[in-house]
A and B are shown apart, each in its own frame.
Chain A
Amino acid sequence: MPSAVIAAGATNGVGFPLLTCIVALPALGAAVLACLPRARGDLLKLVAVLFAVASGALSIWMLAEFDTAFDGFQFVSRHQWIESFGISWFLGVDGISLFLVVLSGVMFPIALVAASPKQDQKSFYAWMLLLMAGSMGAFVALDLLLFFVFFEIVLVPMYFLIGMWGYGNRVYAATKFFLFTMLGSALMLVGILALVILTSSNTGQGVTFDLVELAEAQGVGLVAARWIFVSFALAFAVKVPLFPVHTWLPDAHTEAPTAGSVILAAIMLKLGTYGFLRFGLYLFPEATHWFAPLFLTLGVVGIIYGAVVATMQRDLKRLVAYSSVAHLGFIVIGIFALNAQGLEGGVLQMVNHGLSTGALFILVGFIYERRHTREISELGGLQKSAPILAGVFTVVMLSSIGVPGLNGFVGEFLSLLGAFRGARWWGAVATLGVVLAAVYLLWAYQRVFHGSPEGENARLRDLSLREGLIMVPLVGLIVFIGVYPRPVLARIEPSVDALVAHVDAHVEDFEVEEIVFDPLPEGNDDAEHDEEGGED
């Protein structure tokens, strides 16, 4: 029997609290910015980028030091915070959160470099850094209350980034974003408290918010667990977003400034899918399994629905925003397939979506800066006036469509394969989504880049050196993960396997049929079953 215990330990020989530094550096940067003079725009940007890069560099160092074979949490740092309530500063990463931390470490500096706020640069960069701290914290927090705090903290900077530096309808979009996510997370707080109190009263031990302890104890009954799961799931569903609670997304993404859209798409949506994995599946394996058909259905609906609505958009940025609904659908079905292919594909796809949709938002931002419009009908023939921009857009678009050889394919294929393995018909219907991705992206590309450019479109400036350099790491990663995803998958795998084993250990009627190539079939139905499950 595989080890079902996700142990906490292993500091990987790094002699200082690495994760704490990764979280704290951007926050410190925000504080430093607060002390700098408002007028020095260049200096402000430089300081902001430096702090973000420092935190990002640490995340890459963490990637290098990460123990590939170990399936538990690494780089753990733990300090009592409010002892009487069992709340602690408890951080750690495993294969599931590792690349999300690294993704944040890469995307934030890029978004900062790409940003060009029109007014009040000081606050803009400070909010961005605070957002980075919050995102990093949410991905590494292993204490439920701490996670909740980070999960909530990110709302505030994003609210202001949209509301103050956004476009046209920004206040409406910001408020909508805030209300949707706030309502979701309020319910999650209920769930957290209920879980903690019930567990403590059922097990007779002290109150603790420790994720690992709570998950291993499985201290609440079936029905209660399902209700609490629902309260978590609502918060995450809004964040992902799942149909039908997705309507904040097109508004927020479209009205946000470029840097905000990039972070929203690349990082913040992942808080939802990551939440389903870390706090849904890990804490409530039985409930997740029980609700899986519902979420598979919502995922499939999201894939088709998001793509169809994206196709009909007249605003290029809104189109990219809706494409996220479809892409996140693939991740969701991968997760709720509850097998290694689906989960690994889902985790990988979180990273891939971050890279390619982040890159798309940056490119759309470049076009907007030049033409001051995002209306598709106003654009046209840009490939003639800006061939390099068009070339980069093509590569990113192909990645987003899921063309093999680029990153999007690997994650999407594994998610679909996992879904097909775990829930055949959902997987089959979801596969139709790959056609629609080609439809909306190629049609948009044709209208924006093909044809003969006229007027301002004909005089469009191609990418500058700075803009080109911004795209280099993104395109590089898009190609690298597509050609050689092994190093990424190998680091995700142990944690995903442990998670599947955890589900297997705690859910009675859960079974993943083993698939092995064996051309000489004898008696190979020795699928071992652990009879533990939750007590009734």
Chain B
Amino acid sequence: MEELVWLIPTLPLAGFLLLVAFGRRMGEPAAGWLASAMMAGSFAATVVVFAGLFNEPESHRIFTQSLFTWIAVDGFEVSVGLLADPLSITMALFVTGVGALIHLYSIGYMHGDKDFSKFFIYMNLFAFSMLVLVLADNLLLTFVGWEGVGTCSYLLISFWFTDEQNAVAGKKAFVTNRLGDVGFMLGTFVLWTTIGSINYLDIDAAVSAELIAGVTATAIALLFFIAATGKSAQIPLFVWLPDAMAGPTPVSALIHAATMVAAGVFLLVRMSPVLHEAAWANDVIAWVGVITAFVAATIAVAQNDIKKVLAFSTISQLGYMFLAIGTGAYAAAMFHMVTHAFFKALLFLGAGSVIHGMDDRQDMRVMGGLSKFMPLTTITFLVGWLAIAGVPPFSGFWSKDEILASAWAFDSGGAALWVIGLVTALITAFYMSRQVIMVFYGRPHWRDETARTPAPASLSAAAENPGGDGEAELDVDGLARLPADYQPHESPWQMTVPLVFLSLLAVVGGVLNLPFLEELALLENWLEPVTLPHEAGSGAELWALASAATAIALIGIGSATVIYQRRRVSRELVERRLFSKGWYVDIFYSWFTGHPGRRFFDAIRWFDEKVIDGAANGVAGLVRRSGTALRSLQTGYVRNYALGVAFGTVLLLVYFITRIQV
């Protein structure tokens, strides 16, 4: 049954091609249904392959399928080949599963957009690229998918391109990712020149044969980590992800929360045999991960845009995954990636439903009390909230707990990693509770006269405009046009059904990998042929760590209630300027590229115009002036000079060179 693996990426590709050819004619909603059907088919194919793989004995759960040779030059051979193993199929399952749900949701969300079918063209192309990334049997084909998803992300962020801000955000995402891609390419170069292959199975074999030694392994690991910091928005390349929220909300959910941004994590898990040899590179990964988790969480506390909170939260949660990778807990990283995909997609789609119901408003300060108007959205959002806050028994608790346990057990600086991770968990519970209270409870601020004066948006909140026709409604202060008796409304079924599905997954996702018994660690056992097994502490210790994590989550929720529900403490106490400004990182980058960077570029252009070209023109001028002096020879045509000069030079040089006797 594994032979069907080619079908998994091919179906979205077929959808893409069909929509390119006929999408415009199919129009709404047929184009959306076709795209969704392709995703559903792809999911079905993945399930079949999964079943086939599952029925094999553990040591045989590797299936490769080579479709054709892509590039072959003197020992550098790359085939378009697929690798179905527990890791790739796990990824494919949630990419196609969550992807299908988000495609369905988009049919409702994109209703009325004039580029409805184009949206689904990009979505299917994205799904295809993501599946190539995941299923590729070698690094270069993964890179094809890697760049493909980046390109689709660019196209979808700038989907409503008439707004300059969206266009800038798309470009920023692409260029920032490109910086990381340099790491990917160099890592591939080093790997190939070291072992002569870039096939994943060959890499495993080479590591077993000790062909990838200390320094080389460290270099390779760091280069691929650079790639991952781009795609997975880690320090220092995380700045593009918050801006990427300019894209339509289903895009934020699918690409910028559940799947694409997890690609960096996937890549490192795929390269885990090399990472295992990579000495201090692992410390770098763990520390960058945990610091990113902490910094992004603090920023999320001070955001007022409903999607920006979730964006920084995504960066923070990805930081946890890198913490897991750095401490060697690859299965835990994958576990958190899967549960995060469930609850973060859920939260984003919930936010999209809120935005939809609020007539395209995203500022949480003008929301409030929505639970009465959007019951389904509220209930499902609450599930997502409990899951990400780490309240047992919701899925996020189990996966985050495992990462913290692994940090605790890490031999160099484990306690420090654990403490920062735990504090981040507290902040996570806090900012998510803040969001839930601001959006769904308390006073309905959209009825407030005072709330209608828009406060300066934090970090250039990009308003979005689903279903509109472009210009008219793009401003955040469009609120003034809300009629006094406005009633927020629940979203159509295409949007709420995915919410319900995802909330179910967010509740029960934890059973994938329960800590109590070794047999219950389903995901870890399933992934074991790919990732190395990882021991993290004994029973009693685990209980203690879990209790601490639970307590911390409840403290976070409690303190948010005190500040935002009861209003006992001023919110300024936590919403620091440093946080709302995103630790000034993005501001610094913009300043740097805008001022010294731009001046440097301008200087080089000046150099080209004045010095290089100036020299050429200067010589020409000199020739012309001496030409005037030798008026008798002047014919007025520059060509003649050239000819004369050339002819003379030729004669002279022929003479001299033929004299050279060497």
Chain A residues close to B by CB (< 8 Å): 175-176, 178-180, 182-183, 186-187, 189-191, 193-194, 197-198, 201, 220-224, 227-228, 231, 243-244, 246-248, 305, 308-309, 311-313, 339-341, 344-345, 381, 383-384, 394, 398, 403-405, 409-410, 413-414, 416-417, 420-421, 427-428, 431-432, 434-435, 438-439, 442-443, 446, 449-452, 484-486, 489, 493, 497, 514-521
Contacts and interface: CB of A to CB of B under 8 A. Distances in A.
Interface in B66-124: 68-76
A222 B662 contact: yes
A438 B178 contact: yes
Contact of A517 (B178, B195, B602, B647): B195
Given A398-B151, A431-B186, A519-B202, 18 more contacts: A179-B638, A186-B649, A194-B653, A305-B608, A309-B605, A313-B605, A403-B147, A404-B147, A413-B140, A414-B71, A417-B192, A421-B189, A434-B181, A434-B185, A446-B167, A451-B161, A485-B70, A519-B211
A340 B74 CA distance: 6
Contact of A384 (B162, B196, B602, B653): B162
A341 B70 contact: no
Interface stretch (B168-176, B402-410, B444-452, B493-501): B168-176
27 contacts: A178-B642, A190-B653, A194-B653, A194-B654, A197-B654, A198-B660, A201-B658, A227-B657, A231-B653, A248-B616, A309-B605, A339-B74, A381-B162, A384-B161, A384-B162, A384-B470, A394-B155, A404-B143, A409-B147, A414-B71, A420-B189, A427-B189, A435-B182, A451-B164, A485-B70, A517-B195, A519-B195
Given A194-B654, A435-B175, A416 B70 contact: no
A186 to B, nearest CB: 3
Contact of A305 (B604, B647, B653): B604
B73 A416 contact: no
Interface in B188-222: 188-189, 192-193, 195-197, 202, 205-206, 208-209, 211
A394 B660 CA distance: 55
Nearest to A394: B155
Interface of B: 68-76, 140, 143-144, 147-148, 151, 154-155, 158, 161-164, 166-168, 170-171, 174-175, 178-179, 181-182, 185-186, 188-189, 192-193, 195-197, 202, 205-206, 208-209, 211, 470-471, 601-602, 604-605, 608, 612-613, 616, 620, 638-639, 642-643, 645-647, 649-650, 653-654, 657-658, 660-662
Contacts of A519: 195, 202, 205-206, 208-209, 211
B196 A518 contact: yes
Among A176, A179, A244, A345, max chain B CB count under 10 A is at A179
B596 to A, nearest CB: 14
Nearest to A194: B657
Contacts of B74: 339-341, 344, 493, 497
Nearest to B164: A451
Contacts of B649: 186-187, 190
In the A-B complex, list the 10 residue pairs whose CB atoms are closest, starting with the nearest: A186-B646, A221-B662, A340-B74, A450-B167, A517-B197, A194-B657, A517-B196, A190-B653, A404-B144, A312-B605
A178 B604 contact: no
B185 A413 contact: yes
Contacts of A345: 73
B148 A405 contact: yes
A486 B72 contact: yes
B576 to A, nearest CB: 33
B interface majority secondary structure: helix
Contacts of B170: 446
A198 B658 contact: yes
B431 to A, nearest CB: 32
B182 A431 contact: yes
A282 to B, nearest CB: 19
A518 to B, nearest CB: 7
A222 B174 CA distance: 49
A176 B616 contact: yes
Among B166, B168, B179, B654, max chain A CB count under 10 A is at B654
B608 A247 contact: yes
A484 B188 CA distance: 21
Nearest to A514: B75
A442 B161 CA distance: 13
Contacts of A518: 196
B196 A516 contact: yes
B412 to A, nearest CB: 30
B657 A224 contact: yes
B186 A179 contact: no
A450 to B, nearest CB: 4
A420 B155 CA distance: 32
Contacts of A431: 182, 185-186, 189
Contacts of B162: 381, 384, 450-452
B660 A224 contact: yes
A417 B654 CA distance: 40
Contacts of A409: 147
B293 to A, nearest CB: 27
B201 to A, nearest CB: 10
B161 A449 contact: yes
A383 B115 CA distance: 12
Nearest to B606: A312
A416 B189 contact: yes
Nearest to A172: B617
Given A197-B658, A442-B175, A446-B168, A341 B76 contact: yes
A299 B144 CA distance: 26
A340 B73 contact: yes
A451 B326 CA distance: 42
Contacts of B151: 398, 403
Nearest to A404: B144
A511 B75 CA distance: 16
Contacts of A439: 175
B657 A198 contact: yes
Contacts of B158: 446, 450
B185 to A, nearest CB: 5
B181 A417 contact: no
A486 B151 CA distance: 24
Contacts of A247: 608, 612-613, 616
Nearest to B657: A194
Contacts of A394: 155
A189 B205 contact: no
B660 A515 contact: no
A362 B186 CA distance: 34
A241 to B, nearest CB: 11
B209 A179 contact: no
Contact of B174 (A224, A313, A438, A515): A438
A434 B638 CA distance: 40
Contacts of A516: 75, 196
B646 A183 contact: yes
Given A404-B143, A405-B148, A452-B471, A179 B642 contact: yes
B639 A178 contact: yes
A405 B16 CA distance: 14
A438 B112 CA distance: 33
Contacts of A485: 70-71
Contacts of A521: 209, 211
Contacts of A191: 657
B239 to A, nearest CB: 15
Contact of A175 (B72, B613, B638): B638
Contacts of A398: 151
Contacts of A312: 601-602, 604-605
Contacts of A223: 660, 662
A224 B654 CA distance: 12
Contacts of A404: 140, 143-144, 147-148
Nearest to B608: A309
Contacts of B642: 178-179, 182-183
Contact of A190 (B71, B211, B654): B654
A308 B148 contact: no
